[in-house]
Structure 1
Amino acid sequence: MVTVTVYSTGPSCIRCRMTIDKLQDKGVTPVVVQLAENPAAHEYVTEELDYSEAPVVVVEDGTGQDHWSGFRPDQIARVARAA
């Protein structure tokens, strides 16, 4: 089972919306976390993962974490194939 979490800065983030829409188009339903509403998630993304731009996508498939930042159709396609 693959879990995909998209950390977003909100509805005004075009790359966030495009990432969520593309995942859904490929049959992947992501968990969406709004960074402005969740200080712990913001700290996780900026401190632990060391990203400074949204969206941040974290994929957990039971073998360890896989993550990236930005709108990445190539990564979305790869995740959709594995889901």
Structure 2
Amino acid sequence: MTTVTVYSTGPACIRCTLTCKRLDAVGIGHTVIDITRDADKAIRDFLTDELGYSEAPVVIVDDEPEHHWSGFRPDLIDALAVHARRIASEQLQVSSAGLTRKASHVRR
């Protein structure tokens, strides 16, 4: 299962809101973390110093630093949705194949 974290600067951030709405529209669950609180300084430092971003939102997929982007990117969200559906379909096929094998084994 794909995990998506959206680092947001709050409800006033239009790009953050659009990103979350697009993720919802394509059926991708996500967690939103508001990085404007003082308690989230370490996260802000990571996003700006380590990843090099200066605009919100920052989206990280599967907690992999190499799979991330900044800003409202409907093209990347749509590509992620296609990838997630393909993975789900492959898992369903494997699961169905296992059930078919079990059922044929029981038929003796």
For 2:34, the equivalent position in structure 1 comes to: 34
Quote how far apart the aligned CAs of 1:40 are: 1.7
TM-score by length of 2: 0.70
Gaps of 5+ in 1: none
Q: Between Structure 1 and Structure 2, which shows a larger proportion of helix residues?
A: 2
The AA in structure 2 aligned to 1:70 is G
For 1:11, the equivalent position in structure 2 comes to: 11
Quote how far apart the aligned CAs of 1:65 are: 3.5
Q: Between Structure 1 and Structure 2, which shows a larger proportion of strand residues?
A: 1
Moved more, 18-27 or 33-42: 33-42
Gaps of 5+ in 2: 85-108
Q: Which protein has the larger Cα radius of gyration, Structure 1 or Structure 2?
A: 2
For 2:23, the equivalent position in structure 1 comes to: 23
Q: Which has the higher contact order (CA 8 A, sep 6+)?
A: 1
User: Aligned pairs, how many?
Assistant: 82
CA RMSD of aligned residues (A): 1.6
Quote how far apart the aligned CAs of 1:12 are: 0.1
1:1-83 alignment, distance < 5 Å: 1-37=1-37, 38-60=40-62, 65-83=66-84
Identity %: 51
| Moved segments of 4+, more than 2 Å | none
* 1:16-66 per-position Cα deviation (integer Å, ceiling 9, x unaligned): 0000010011001111111112112111111111100001111117x7630
C-alpha distance in 2 between matches for 1:5 and 1:32: 6
